[in-house]
């Protein structure tokens, strides 16, 4: 210990080490620091989104982002496509061309682009017996595939059918589906083509 102290003292006398002198910090530096801090807090509040992983720039907080979500209840073609591909495409094919001895085509079929009231009844109650589609007669049975779908989903999938693959017909709304569902009132029998023709 004593030898160490001696060594330090010796070095001090030989080499003048640079020293930090005590000087007061200028006042303007504190002022600048506070201005910078205030600006940083302002920017953080404006753009930070409080570090939430879902909040990106034009939106300032999760609450604001939630107010900008698209209105639900409308018909979405994207949703209709998903429903079509899970429920209908197995028999009617993803491009609506149908499959021989399984299901008639939907693209360009009058039954699809024609009267909404007829079209909505087919998935809700099913269809059986001979039916003419695009000049060809089919004699098969379709179960009530749409009975378990919600009004929104059924409207979405029917709208998708009516607008995809070159079909061009007006959209079907959930209200129309709900009205037909109420009119059927638990009908268990599938429709026949002749019965559907009687509906406007």
| Minimum CB distance to other proteins, residue 113 (Å) | 14
| Minimum CB distance to other proteins, residue 125 (Å) | 24
| 13 vs 54, beta carbon nearer other proteins | 54
50-84 CB burial, b ≥16 within 10 A, e <16:
eeeeebeeebeeeeebeeeeeeeeebbeebbbebb
Residue 134's nearest CA partner among 112, 115, 158, 101 is 112
| 138 vs 153, beta carbon nearer other proteins | 153
| 108 vs 190, beta carbon nearer other proteins | 108
| 144 vs 155, beta carbon nearer other proteins | 155
| Minimum CB distance to other proteins, residue 59 (Å) | 8
Name the 3-class secondary structure at 55: coil
Question: Any idea which residue has 């009516």 for tokens?
Answer: 162
Binding site for other proteins (CB under 8 A): 51-59, 65, 67-72, 74-79, 82, 163, 170-171, 173, 175
* 200/182 Cα distance (integer angstroms): 17
| Minimum CB distance to other proteins, residue 86 (Å) | 11
């Amino acid at each position: 210990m004593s030898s160490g102290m001696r060594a330090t003292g010796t070095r001090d006398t030989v080499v003048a080490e640079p020293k930090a002198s005590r000087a007061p910090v200028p006042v303007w530096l504190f002022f600048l620091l506070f201005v910078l801090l205030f600006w940083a807090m302002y920017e953080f509040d404006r753009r930070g989104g409080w570090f939430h992983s879902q909040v990106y720039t034009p939106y300032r907080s999760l609450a604001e982002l939630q107010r900008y979500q698209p209105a639900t209840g409308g018909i979405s073609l994207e949703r209709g496509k998903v429903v079509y591909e899970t429920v209908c495409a197995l028999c009617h094919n993803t491009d609506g061309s149908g499959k021989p001895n399984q299901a008639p085509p939907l693209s360009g079929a009058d039954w699809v682009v024609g009267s909404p009231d007829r079209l909505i009844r087919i998935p809700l109650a099913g269809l059986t017996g001979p039916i003419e589609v695009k000049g060809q007669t089919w004699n098969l049975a379709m179960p009530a595939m749409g009975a378990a779908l919600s009004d929104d989903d059924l409207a979405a999938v029917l709208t998708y059918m009516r607008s995809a693959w070159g079909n061009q017909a007006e959209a079907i709304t959930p209200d129309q589906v709900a009205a037909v569902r109420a009119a059927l009132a638990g009908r268990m029998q599938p429709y026949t083509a002749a019965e559907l023709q009687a509906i406007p």
